[in-house]
Every structure is written in C-alpha cells, then in structure tokens.
Structure 1
C-alpha cells in the first residue's frame, strides 16, 4: 500500500518536473525581439461602383482582382484573391452614411500545383460601416469605422474553419491639386491611413492584423468616373505568432463609377458623401 502511494507521488513529481521543463522550453523558444518576415509585393486592382437608388439609399458594389509576387516575379507572380463586396448604403445626412452587406472572397493556393493545397477556398464575411465626414482646412476629412465578421481557413487540405472579427479605422482626405474644388478635370492627392485590429478565439497574441499607409493620386474625369493609383505599405502581426510581423508593398489601381438609377424627375443636386 505504501509502495503504491510512493509510486503515485513519484509519478506526480515526474509529471510536474516534465511540465516545468516543457514550460521553460516554450519560454526559451520564444525570441526576445520581434521578427519581420521578408518584404513581399502585390498588385490590387479595384472597381468601386456606387449606384443611387433613391434620395438616401445607395447600392455599393466593389470588386478586387489581386495578384501577389512569387519567386522572381514581383507583384504579379500568381493569383492572390478575388474579392466581392456589396452593401446597401444609407445616407443619414451630409456628414454620416452607414452600410451593411456581405462579402465573398476567393483565396487562391499559395503553391500552385501542390496537391497539399486546395486551388481555391471561399471566405465569407458580413460587414457594416460608419463613414463620418468633417470639414478640415477647406477640405473634407473622412473617418471610416468598418466592422467585419469573417469565416476563413487556409488552403491546406483539411484545414479547420476559424471565426474572427475585424475592427477597422481609416482616416483619409481628397485634396485637389489643380482646382479649388473636386470638379471634373481635377487631379487630387489622397493621404490615407488605416489600422485593422482583430479578435476571436484564434487570436491569442496578435490583435493588430494590419497597419496600412496608402497615399495615392487621382483624377476626376466626370461626375460619374474617377481613377486613383498609389503604392501602399502594410505591416502587422501574424495570426499564429504575434512576435512575427509582415511587411508588404502593394501597388493599387482603382476605378470609381457613380450612377443614378432614380427617375429623371426625382434627380436633384444634393449633398454627396462618398468613399
């Protein structure tokens, strides 16, 4: 009987010592400073449609075609994602608009031809947005709060689904260069900074998903069409290891189309709050 007790005590002590060793190893294996991954590149081509349905109701339709650098080919080496975002947008007043809608993103394999990865994986999301416009130095400053609820998994065969929330804040302005106002024929510059936080059970020590610094230059062709191009730098924590940071340069080109679907007699000049 005494022998059994001693064996039990010895076993408990052994388990305790092994646990201490494992803990010490885990702590020792964690670096004492942050690690930044090699800088990667990408190309994002965006289409932004804004269609007026009534005096205050709009339909937003957004499409992204994204490629990423691969091997010796920067920016366009392979497919990255195809991104579809839609929403109904309600213009509360000339200083506030709110949006709600779905997203469907297609994530392409990081290693084309590798059977250990699926060619395409779907990533659905639900998003809502609150866009505030405020006068600033003769122009308008925009504060955008966007919240996304996302279901995702990696392209690895058999990977599990995970759920996360994204909390996004963006500040930007559209500053005319060759005119006093943003009218057709105007070039403009857009200072643009966004921080993206994330939360959820899989997020242990990596709450900052992305910091995006995205200056761009644009041109207004007419009231229905404008273009922008810019180079964006991003950095953020990786999901599995918060001490590992990403580093990306992304060339972005965008086309913005605005159409009015109301009957002609219902159209009249009014306040416009646009992204």
Structure 2
C-alpha cells in the first residue's frame, strides 16, 4: 500500500507540473512551507515561507515570510497567536514589473473540531497592514476540511483529501477584498510531517485566477513534553 500511495502522489505532482507547463499564462504556482512547532506544552512557534509565482517558477509574484508565537487555551486546541509578516510583491503595472514591500502584524484564533473522519479547522485572523503609502486593516475567515482516504485517522502513510475556503474583508471601503477556494490531495509522511498538492482559485476585483499549490507541513516539536 505504501508504494502505491507514493506512486499516486508522484503522479499528482507530475500532473501539476504538466498543467503548469501547458497553461503557464493562465496559472500561477505557490510553493509553501508551514512550521508549527511546540515550544512547551502550551506555547508554539509558527513559521512559514511562501514563494508565489506568476508562472511555474522564475517570475516572482510575491515572497511572504510569516512568524508568530501562539498559546493553546485548551490541550492542543483553541490556539491564540500574535505574529509578524514581511511581504515582497512584484506585480505588473501597465505591463511593467514593479516592486513594493509590506510589513504586517496579525492576531489570530484557531479552533479544531473532529466528526468521525472529518477534521475541521476554523481560523479567524485580524491584520494590520503597513503598506509603503497606506495603512489598512483586514479580517480573514478560513475554514478547512481534511478527510483521510485509506485510513480512518490522519496517521502516518495516510492519503487524504483537503478543501478550504477563505474570505478576506477590509475594515473600511470597499469591504470585500478577495475569496479563495482550494482542493487538494495530501499525504501524511509521519506524525509530524505531511505534504499537499492542489489547486486554488482566487476571486479578486471580479477576476478569477488559478494557482497550483504545493505545501509542506512541519510540526516537529522543540520540546519532549
């Protein structure tokens, strides 16, 4: 079964690469690393890097680095976190490549629920965005569902399906910023690591843009507790 799952996931990555090569003018690609590492029984260290491209690789759209310290209000759940993000963006304006930076402070609350095979996560995030020539505040609500396929639980060597929706709302006008819908297949490598590959569609300013996403998740604790 292990070899079959590896072949399935290798095929998924090959398919994603093929789609990007064939439709690089229509699809972007996001390569993402997420770390959520226990510092103590209650505290965790969040760290992530996202390398976002207009095409498969090489035409940088955005580099995002985010970190923070969180605290579990209950055992391994109901996490409150305060963090900082640095964002380097290189958008096209009138056909010309430009560059700008953003510093971001954020506060968030994550709660998890489990119903049979269904693993649900809700995230509520408030952001204070220090742009080069502006300051904005934004609220984000994210809901994610992971469903194991070949096992009843998200144990090592489990293939799983993942979907999420996230809406972004400004605290001033215009209120609606964007919405993201995502679907993927993932593989649990071991109890602290998993990997996903999928597709995300983003609606922003009445425009749709698709992104292939490949994400690696690392939960190796820094403590033995």
Name the TM tier (shorter chain).
0.7 to 0.9
Q: Please say if residues 40 and 247 of structure 1, whose CA atoms lie closer than 8 Å, have aligned partners that are also in contact.
A: no
Residue of structure 1 in register with 2:111 after alignment: 132
Give the Cα–Cα distance (whole angstroms) in 2 for the partners of residues 210 and 173 of structure 1.
20
Please state if 1:50 is matched with 2:36. Answer: yes
The CA deviation at 1:105 is 0.5
Residue of structure 2 in register with 1:226 after alignment: 194
Q: Please say if residues 49 and 65 of structure 2, whose CA atoms lie closer than 8 Å, have aligned partners that are also in contact.
A: yes
Please state if 1:99 is matched with 2:67. Answer: no
Give the Cα–Cα distance (whole angstroms) in 2 for the partners of residues 122 and 221 of structure 1.
35
C-alpha distance 209-109 of structure 1, shift in aligned 2 (>3 A): closer
1:115-161 deviation per Cα after TM superposition (whole angstroms, max 9, x unaligned): xx65x3211000111111123344332111111111224xxxxxxx1
TM-score by length of 1: 0.68
The CA deviation at 1:107 is 1.0
- The answer for unaligned runs of 5 or more in structure 1 is 1-38, 70-74, 154-160, 238-244, 268-275
RMSD: 2.1
TM-score by length of 2: 0.82
Bigger Cα Rg: 1
Which one of the candidate residues 65, 69, 94 is aligned to 1:84? 65
Aligned to 2:200, what secondary structure does the other structure show?
strand
Instruction: Write out the 4+ residue segments of structure 1 that deviate beyond 3 Å after TM superposition.
Output: none
Residue of structure 2 in register with 1:217 after alignment: 185
Q: Please say if residues 193 and 220 of structure 2, whose CA atoms lie closer than 8 Å, have aligned partners that are also in contact.
A: no
Aligned to 2:59, what secondary structure does the other structure show?
strand
- The answer for unaligned runs of 5 or more in structure 2 is 1-24
Query: Within 5 Å, which residues of 2 pair with 1:261-272?
Result: 261-262=222-223, 264=224, 267=225
C-alpha distance 196-109 of structure 1, shift in aligned 2 (>3 A): closer
Residue of structure 2 in register with 1:4 after alignment: none
Give the Cα–Cα distance (whole angstroms) in 1 for the partners of residues 159 and 74 of structure 2.
27
Q: Please say if residues 117 and 152 of structure 2, whose CA atoms lie closer than 8 Å, have aligned partners that are also in contact.
A: no
Give the Cα–Cα distance (whole angstroms) in 1 for the partners of residues 145 and 131 of structure 2.
32
